Amino acid sequence: MSFAIAIDGPAASGKGTIARAISVHFGFHHLDTGLLYRATGARGGDPVQAAQSLTAEDLARSDLRSAQAGQAASRVAAIPEVRAALLDFQRRFAAQEPGAVLDGRDIGTVICPDAEVKLYVTASDQVRAHRRAAELGADPAQMLRELQERDRRDSERATAPLRPADDAVVLDTSELAIDQAVTRAIGIVDQVWQRRLP
């Protein structure tokens, strides 16, 4: 029986780092679902066709972590037909044995509403902008504007808006070092995982 972990939250909150650490700790599969949308946006052309025909090569592109790819992802993610095209892929991934960790913006609310564990990872706008600026070598003030624009677009879209699932555990990483955030997240998952063991 598979064990799905849904991790949602805004950009630069730490959710990807936490998701990867959890997957390694428990030996689970990991999917950064944002890469699906980044790859769809980066392909250009008709986004619905791009979403329907994504390949492993598309997901391995070296430019998917750029700020431009992030903005493109946010734009195509607002298209209901794009989300529908990627839905089945994500759900099949989540059903893998022994378990899977998916991180994104609608995992706990739409993709895996029955996930065994749901985390909503967040941090203050200023902390997130500083992190992303350091990661990309960019201007923090510009990053703050871009993150706030993206947050607004992601939270106001009609289809699968960014928000915590009703039963998600909210983990604010604003004041936490990454190892502290990872330890806390693993502890939350482990409590549920131990109850599943025979």
Residue numbers in the known binding site for ATP are: 9-17
- Please state, in angstroms and rounded to a whole number, the distance separating the CA atoms of residues 129 and 178: 16
CA nearest neighbour of 94 among 177, 3, 192, 189: 3
Tokens 């289809």 -> residue: 159
Peptide bond into 164 cis (omega under 30): no
Q: Please say whether the beta carbons of 90 and 31 come within 8 A.
A: yes
User: Could you tell me which residues are annotated as the binding site?
Assistant: 9-17
Residues in Cβ contact with 106 at an 8 Å cutoff, skipping those fewer than 6 apart: 8, 83, 160, 161, 162
Positions of E strands within 9-162: 29-32, 100-104, 117-122
